[in-house]
Structure 1
Amino acid sequence: MMSKQTMAIFFKRIMDIFFSVVGFLMTAPIMLVVAVCIKLEDGGPILFVQTRTGKDGKLFSIYKFRSMKVESRQQNEYGKGWEEGVPDAFIFKECSSENPCITRVGAFIRRTSIDELPQFFNVMIGNMSLVGPRPEIPEITCYYSKEQKKRLRVKPGLTGWAQVNGRSSITNGEKMQMDYHYVDNHSIRMDMYILVLTVKVVLTFKGAV
């Protein structure tokens, strides 16, 4: 007989598969139009693939619609003076939609969060969940303190508690506290609540970059 925790993990996975497939099918026409627009704008690749840190520190490839110009290369430096974990005041932001490194199509899909739709595939194959802490890049997670590694105990999500409470406008410290809250209290009911709030946040562009 399955334990309560095992059953919760099982039902969460079933929910992930069901809603990611439904979400993929429902948004397929939108994704097709976006893919054509990206290709027509500059002829570059449609998808942007990046390494992120998943559950228990396992690395995986995340998929997004490309929003940056092909020739753009971000030179980000992290870790200077980070001897006790990622600072609470740190705010990680990729270049904003007003930045010249963003394409015209890219500015729109970032603001509307359409660039994240290919992550339904990440959820389907199991390296992400619909709901959980957003996956961070390994160049940042390698500096996590022991406490900060707590957010890696669950699968990263397409959306999460921090995303419906500030998205990109909150600091690392605020995000961490919200992610700890999710790790300690997550349930199917909480996941459903976050999914409903996510629709509201996306439609109002709250915290979008």
Structure 2
Amino acid sequence: MSEIVYANEVLGGTRIKVRKVPVDQALTEAMNVVVALLALVFLAPVMIAVAIAVYAQDGGPILFAHRRLGRNGRYFYCLKFRSMAVDAEQRLKTLLENDPQARAEWEKDHKLRDDPRVTKLGNFLRKTSLDELPQLFNVLKGEMSLVGPRPIVEAEIAKYGRRFHHYCAVKPGITGLWQVSGRNDTTYRARVAMDCVYAARRNVFMDFRVLALTVPAVLARRGSY
């Protein structure tokens, strides 16, 4: 049974049990480190160019470190190239206070299709996923994995409900089932189901498969905004 079909069953109410898969954890961690190092070397020119462009647009910080929840519910700072204006939080606050429709959209998925905080350059970085390249350093630090659930903020715990422990069972990832299955074109409920499926069925072969599917998903910009 495919992971997506199984996720649909979870959405339909099927109870999911996290089983301990006999995975060589050392092999998984080694893969994370080797691939992350190779990616950093290969993508160094791109990352330098992005860093220069981010700084040139307004002279603000190049990186944005956001507090997220990791494995076992521990907090860490997830790195990204800054895609938002320097006064992003004030822009969001003003919008939510004055636009009921935007407030409802934010409360539903913690996403905004027309986000006033995002700069023109930031919009490009998000659509191409270039903003997430600094997370390779999070992988090297052991805070994230190449593949896993997307790291969430504390306010999103309620959306996982009784399934939150599935999220905490694994390291959050740069990519994962959600990213190769439509990203923002899917519901948050579907995202939670996919995270549960990954926690229950994760193995090295699944990770390789997701990594392979990530490339065409990024190039096609499916569900990115």
Give me the TM-score of the superposition, normalised by structure 2.
0.80
Q: Check whether the contact 1:91–1:170 (CA below 8 A) recurs between aligned residues.
A: no
Greater helix fraction, Structure 1 or Structure 2? 2
Residue 129 in structure 1 maps to residue 150 in structure 2: no
Go from structure 1 to structure 2 and tell me whether the alpha carbon gap of 1:144 and 1:178 turns closer, same or farther (over 3 Å shift).
closer
Structure 1 residue runs without a partner (length 5+): 78-88
**Equivalent AA in structure 1 for residue 131 of structure 2:** D
In the TM superposition, residue 142 of structure 1 has moved relative to its aligned partner by 5.8
Go from structure 1 to structure 2 and tell me whether the alpha carbon gap of 1:142 and 1:91 turns closer, same or farther (over 3 Å shift).
closer
Match of residue 197 from structure 1? 213
Q: Which moved more, 1:134-143 or 1:113-122?
A: 134-143
The percentage of aligned residue pairs carrying the same residue is 38
SS at match of 2:146: strand
In the TM superposition, residue 147 of structure 1 has moved relative to its aligned partner by 2.1
Go from structure 1 to structure 2 and tell me whether the alpha carbon gap of 1:145 and 1:62 turns closer, same or farther (over 3 Å shift).
same
**Equivalent AA in structure 2 for residue 167 of structure 1:** R
Residue 37 in structure 1 maps to residue 53 in structure 2: yes
What is the distance in 2 between the residues matched to 1:161 and 1:101? Answer: 27
Query: Size of the alignment, in residue pairs?
Result: 193
What is the distance in 1 between the residues matched to 2:115 and 2:160? Answer: 29
In the TM superposition, residue 39 of structure 1 has moved relative to its aligned partner by 0.8
**Equivalent AA in structure 2 for residue 182 of structure 1:** Y
Q: Check whether the contact 2:67–2:77 (CA below 8 A) recurs between aligned residues.
A: yes
Q: Check whether the contact 2:85–2:118 (CA below 8 A) recurs between aligned residues.
A: yes
Match of residue 119 from structure 1? 135
Q: Check whether the contact 1:90–1:173 (CA below 8 A) recurs between aligned residues.
A: no
What is the distance in 2 between the residues matched to 1:143 and 1:130? Answer: 23
What is the distance in 2 between the residues matched to 1:201 and 1:142? Answer: 28
Q: Which 4+ stretches in 1 moved above 4 angstroms? A: none
Q: Check whether the contact 1:90–1:171 (CA below 8 A) recurs between aligned residues.
A: no
Match of residue 150 from structure 1? 166
SS at match of 2:109: coil
